[in-house]
Structure formats: C-alpha cells, structure tokens
Amino acid sequence: MKNIYDLTEEDMEEYFINKGSKKFHALQLFNFLYEKRIKNIEEVTTIKKEMLEEIKKDFSFAKIELVLVERDSDVCKYLFELKDKEHIEAVLMKHDYGISVCVSSQVGCNMGCCFCESGRRKKIRNLEVYEMVQEILLIEEDIGQRISHVVVMGIGEPFDNYENLIKFLSIINHPKGLAIGARHITVSTCGIVTKILEFSEFPLQINLAISLHAPNDEIRNKIMPISKAYPMKELIEAIKIYLSRTNRRVTFEYILLKDINDSEACALELAKLVKGINCYINLIPYNETNNLEFRRSNTIQIMKFYDILKKNNVNVTIRREFGSKISAACGQLRSKKEEL
C-alpha cells in the first residue's frame, strides 16, 4: 500500500479524479499534510467524510521513527528506524544563512567508493518517497523550525533511486508542500552519466554536485568503481551537456585523501580538467573513520592544493567542517548502532 507522503500533487489529483471527486482537493490535502502538519486524516476539514474514509482505506499514514539524536552546537545527527527495522541517517547543520539537512536516499549503497563508510554495506533497498520526505518532517518537528536547505548527500546514490528522488524533490519544493526553494536543494551523485543527462531535462532549478575526487581515470578507478562504468571523458561530456541545457553551474566535490589525490600535480591536472566548465570545486577534508585506512591530508597540503586551484582561476572553497566530534561521516552513526 502506498503511503500518503509518497504522493506528489499530480499523483493526488489523479487519485481524486479517479475517485470521481475534485482535482482541487489535492492542493487542500497537501496543505493539511505539509502546512498544517495534521496527525491524522480526520483533521482535514475541506474534504467530505466519505472521501476521507476512502483515503484512509487506500493509503498508509505510517511514519518512520526517530530513534537516536546526537547533538552538538551547530550540528545534529539523526538516526531513523524504518518499518522493516532498517536504519538511515540524516544530518542537520546550522549555518548563518539558514538550516540545512543532509538526507539519505537508500539503505546501504552499491557504488562501493573505497573511502566511504556507507558503501561498506551493500544496498538493501531504495528509500520510498515518504521515507525521504519524513526525514525532513521529523527533523523540523524535533527542532520546531523550518529547514531552508536540503542536500541529498547522505547514505545512498540518489541517481540509483531516480524515480523516487524526483517525486521527493517535487514534494519538498512544492509551495504547498515543504516549500524549499529549488536553488536551496542540491543533489549529489558519484557520476551516473545516464541520469545526469536525464536530470538535465528536469524542470526544477535544483543544484547538481558531482563527487569527483580525482583528476583522472587512473586515480578515480582506484577509489570509485563507478569510474569504470563511466570514465572521466564521458562524465565531463555529460556535465557539459547538463550545463548547456540548464544554464546552471555544477559543484565538484573533491575529498583530499593523503597521498592518493592530494599532490600538487593532481591540483594542476584538476585545474586543467575543469577549465572552461562553469563550476566550483568544494575541497573536503576527509572525515577519518575507524573502519577504513584512508587518511586526511594535512592542513598544509590542503592549503597548497587550494592555492594552486586559485592561481589557476578555479572557483574553489574548502568545506567547513561539521561534526567530526559526533559521528558525522556518512554511515558512521548507523555503523555504531549496528556494530557492523
């Protein structure tokens, strides 16, 4: 049975029309679910009792469950339990420009990036739309505030759960839904070329981030298996098509891993690779985890890398660090809980 929070406005319209009812009830229901945050369907006052009974029969109202929160001054990490007892994580970060949440898109992940904690556990399943939507609803409930920014950078590869991702994005962006501006939403992919091309046709102005992490195939192949399926040349080609279709800018994420991708030669090669691409590069100090042997580049090396990019006129920032005290690297909280 579908969950009520799986439905986009279009899905609801279709439902009401099929029931011989009125299409405009979709917007009303959206309003009750997301603006008024009703706890049960009886609280809807604008739809007839009989119709509400039908809705109750046709949809589940089940929620995911918040089971653990680790709190720090400007970051909170949430662990949720799903109805099949699986666990997912989300992270809240307080910035001067607002509150952002990093959501998970799958249980486990099949991309197998060597440095990533989440990938140690194979994909169990995709998250349903309602599970992703509720990550945000439950966090807003917990803090009693609205979330202004969403990044799909938690556990999972969002483009490996494309259909649900698109519905999720439509719901959280909808003005009567969670009303989070498209430009405040970022989807991060390890580089599934076919989906980057598909996403370039998606009408919402959502930001795209690419986990690049290497300036060439040789290094990328060693740390990101996806690179064998979609080599650098194809990836860059797809990004260029995305940029020409959307007139937007992409973000490249680049984790600095000691002695793997942090040399000055790598920085130069990276600058060359992105030349002429409307992008900015986000350098990420690696969050070390107990289970993997990758090490973070030291600060001097990070600064050197940064300077080389700057000198070569690349837009570059170093990611502000959140939550290395609490288990904020992807997948760490769940690993702790399940002691994998």
Q: What are phi and psi of 80, to 5 degrees?
A: -115, 145
Decide: 158 and 152 in contact? Cβ < 8 Å.
yes
Residue 89 bears catalytic tag? yes
Residues 255-294 interacting with ligand SAH (rule: CB under 6 A): 255, 284, 286-287, 289
Which one, 15 or 168, has the nearer CB to ligand SAH?
168
DSSP E strand stretches across the chain = 65-71, 75-81, 87-95, 98-102, 106-107, 125-126, 149-152, 185-189, 207-211, 250-256, 279-285, 316-318
CB of 333 to ligand SAH, least distance (A): 13
- Closest separation between CB of residue 11 and ligand SAH, Å? 26
- Quickly list DSSP for 95-154: ETTEEEEE---EES-SS--TT-SGGGS---EEPPHHHHHHHHHHHHHHHTS---EEEE-S
Footprint of ligand SAH on 193-222 (CB under 6 A): 211
| 103 interacts with ligand SAH by CB under 6 A | no
- The residue (of 3 and 188) whose beta carbon lies closer to ligand SAH is 188
Query: What interhelical angle do 162-173 and 9-18 show, nearest 10?
Result: 90
Does position 169 bind ligand SAH by CB under 6 A? no
330 catalytic residue (yes or no) = yes
- Only segment of 7-15, 26-34, 136-144, 188-196 that touches ligand SAH (CB under 6 A): 188-196
Q: The tokens 């001054």 sit on which residue?
A: 73
| 190 lies in the binding site for ligand SAH (CB under 6 A) | yes
Contacts with ligand SAH by CB under 6 A lie at 111, 113, 115-117, 153, 157, 188-190, 211, 253, 255, 284, 286-287, 289, 329-330
Active site amino acids: 89, 330
